[in-house]
Chains A and B, each alone.
Chain A
Amino acid sequence: DIVLTQSPALAVSLGQRATISCRASQSVSISRYNLMHWYQQKPGQQPKLLIYRASNLASGIPARFSGSGSGTDFTLTINPVQADDIATYYCQQSRESPPTFGGGTKLELK
């Protein structure tokens, strides 16, 4: 299985940039497709898709969220961070079955 590694937590100030990283144990890219996706989960709620295929913004997601990366290294950026963005963020790969998730990065306020 492809293992996705995320830092457990990240502290950020409101209005600043947050950069959340995800590293895969093997490449999750196929030709021009980078099969990494990002979800946001707030306490007591279901996950919400933010970014699909590394850099595509999901429907209804504000433009302050963006994604980048290829191969094994991917990044979710939130700029600027707003109070509503305090949540846990998960990366997920769909390069091969089983689809796997990272352990999550909890975004906290400084």
Chain B
Amino acid sequence: EVQLVESGGGLVQPGRSLKLSCAASGFTFSSFAMAWVRQAPKKGLEWVATITSGGSNTYYPDSVKGRFTISRDNAKSTLYLQMDSLRSEDTATYYCAKDLTTRVSWYFDFWGPGTMVTVSS
């Protein structure tokens, strides 16, 4: 059974940093691209970052480019999101998501339960 479990969320002041983790199990983690998707309170879904299976390529929307860094440790089956220079508009639940195919397909067949990040002074 595929499982994705995020951790590392919490309350952080604007301008500070936070690092999220996502522990994966139940599939061959190193074979799949992975992503982070966020959802602001009572709002819709926004893609945040994608990383290829081997970790060599990463992709971001303009809203987080230069501030967020996605990475992975295939030996530990863990995905990360380093978030720097946080802003109030980054407040959201952050979901770890598995790409459907072994290449970057940009759609996601399994999601973790999410971890909440609140950026506030």
Tell whether A pairs with B.
yes
Report Cα–Cα, A98/B47, bound state, in Å. 7
With a CB–CB cut-off of 8 A, which chain B residues contact A59? 109
The answer, among B46, B106, B111, for a CB contact under 8 Å with A47, is B111
The secondary structure that dominates the A interface is loop
Report Cα–Cα, A45/B106, bound state, in Å. 21
With a CB–CB cut-off of 8 A, which chain B residues contact A58? 109
The interface stretch among A13-21, A73-81, A89-97 is: A89-97
Report Cα–Cα, A108/B106, bound state, in Å. 29
A69 adjacent to chain B (CB < 8 Å): no
The answer, among A46, A92, A97, for a CB contact under 8 Å with B112, is A46
B100 adjacent to chain A (CB < 8 Å): yes
Report Cα–Cα, A39/B111, bound state, in Å. 11
The answer, among B45, B95, B107, B113, for a CB contact under 8 Å with A52, is B107
B27 adjacent to chain A (CB < 8 Å): no
**Known A48-B111, A52-B100; contact A94-B106, beta-carbon cutoff 8 A:** yes
Interface hub of B61, B106, B112 (most chain A Cβ within 10 A): B106
* CB pair B108 A49 closer than 8 Å: yes
**Known A46-B112, A46-B114; contact A99-B107, beta-carbon cutoff 8 A:** yes
* CB pair B44 A90 closer than 8 Å: yes
With a CB–CB cut-off of 8 A, which chain B residues contact A39? 45
Hey, which bits of chain A sit against chain B, CB under 8 A? Answer: 35, 37, 39, 45-49, 52, 58-59, 90, 92, 94, 97-104
Extra A-B contacts (15), CB below 8 Å, given A46-B111, A46-B113, A52-B107: A35-B106, A35-B107, A46-B95, A47-B111, A49-B107, A49-B110, A92-B45, A94-B106, A97-B106, A98-B47, A98-B59, A101-B44, A101-B45, A101-B47, A104-B44
